[in-house]
Amino acid sequence: MTVLAYQDFLQTASQKLSDSHNIGRRNAVLVVNFERLAELDGVLGFAMVDEIIRKISWQLRDSLNPEDLVGVTGRYQISCLLVDLLTDAHAMLAAHKILRILMHPFVSGRRSIVLAARIGVAVSNRDDHTLDQLMSNASLAIRQARLEQEPIKLFVAEMEDPLLLQIDLWSDLGNAIETRELYLSYQPQISTTSGKIESTEALLRWNHPNRGPIRPDKLIQVAEGTELMSKLTLWVFHTALRECSEYRKAGLDAGVSINFSADDLRDPELPELVLQGLSLWGVPPGNVTVELTETAVMENHVGTLDTLHKLKDTGLRLAMDDFGTGYSSMARMLDLPLDEIKIDMVFVKHMTTRRTHDRIVDSMINLAHRLNLSVVAEGVEDFATYERLRALGCDMIQGYFIGKAMPLPELIEAVVNQSPKFLKMTLQDSADN
């Protein structure tokens, strides 16, 4: 029994799988990937990291059956071939056994190092019994595990390669921006004191011609970190301002909230581009709110704070979205030119049934008001939650209780026909009583 080098593992494993004794039997490949070792290269040195991989390989070799194979198949990767398994479950049991071994800190000199591992599991069947296919399937399972934040993932035939999907969607998104395949929906935000619609949140939508509706978070994930992000943001910004101008002319005297990303804040040209958009569409800057995730505004990137202040100087309002779900620093908040916080629906949804949620929301509202910030509560789905938020002094609310997100024509029709979708009369009557 030994640990094999890359080429030796590929050759020996291929021979085992093609051996007449193993044909028709259940075999599996486990690919173990170590995500923290890349960071340790610069700290401990390449030789030390190679030694860690070598020792871990021997630990795994000792934990498996004598006829199984273990090999180092990448800079931070170990692969195992398990042969003649009774069931698919035995491959998963072996993966969990390996994970338990790796959960123990690895001792290197005076240091104890905790290794973050993900394991992809691929079991052979009639269609994919070659080593190349099993290795590919196991690697795909690792990428899926990374997306789902799971330590172990079993490959299934229906699993679509997330990397290839990302590449395809990136190309399609570039075309969608140019061909107006994208559109915006608007969710009303109402004042808890007047019952009137004060603003709407512009929400990006993409109905892919082949894949159907693409989730907004997936859409942003495709664009982030690429040149498409700035193009997408500008498209959303100009479209939201133009359509805000249209619904204001139709009789809805309300502003619009637009989401920007952390990538956007790193663009030094963003404030000037924003000024150009405001001038082009004639929407008063005070009626436009830029929403930024808590992670984005808390990021201590060079230039981010300067960009925020320049956006503020244009007259825009700045809001921190998803407040309470990230890692807010009170010291950092003192430096931010914010006008508003949005309390995430995870706290709002259960505040009438869970006392701790109610207390958290109450504390958030009080904190914001002490900092002279207005508060919007997201995810309001019933009258009891609305009433409680109004009693706590929350300034505005949005959610299905008020109205779902709707495309511009539907929004204008609802305004013109004084549709009860917004429950405006109900809320106004409640505010007056």
- Annotated domain spans of the chain: 3-159, 166-432
Please give the backbone phi and psi of residue 407, each rounded to the nearest 5 degrees, phi first.
-65, 160
**What is the value of pTM for the model shown?**
0.67
Assigned architecture for domain 166-432: Alpha-Beta Barrel (3.20)
Query: What pLDDT score was predicted for residue 433?
Result: 46
Topology classification of domain 3-159: Alpha-Beta Plaits (3.30.70)
Per-residue pLDDT of the chain (433 residues; tens, 9 = 90+): 688 998 999 999 998 888 756 666 889 999 999 987 877 887 788 888 888 888 899 999 999 999 999 999 988 999 999 998 988 899 999 999 999 998 888 777 777 887 889 999 999 875 557 899 899 889 989 988 887 889 999 988 766 555 556 777 888 888 888 887 899 999 999 999 988 899 999 999 998 888 788 888 888 888 887 888 889 999 999 999 999 999 999 889 999 999 998 888 888 899 999 999 999 998 999 999 999 876 677 666 667 888 999 999 999 999 998 887 765 556 667 788 999 999 999 999 999 999 999 999 999 999 999 999 999 999 999 999 999 999 999 999 999 998 889 999 999 888 777 654 454 434 444 444 4
Residue 2 CB: number of other CB atoms within 10 A? Answer: 12
Long-range contacts of 232-237 (CB under 8 A, 24+ apart): 232/173, 232/177, 232/204, 233/260, 233/261, 233/263, 233/264, 234/273, 234/277, 235/177, 235/182, 236/184, 236/202, 236/204, 237/273, 237/274, 237/277
CB 65 within 8 A of CB 1: no
pLDDT value at residue 420: 45
User: Nearest Cα to 311, choosing from 284, 272, 280, 259?
Assistant: 272
Q: Where are the alpha helices (DSSP H) in 160-258?
A: 162-179, 216-223, 228-249
Residues 152, 356: Cα–Cα separation, whole Å? 33
pLDDT of 389 reads: 97
Count of beta carbons in the 10 Å neighbourhood of residue 136: 18
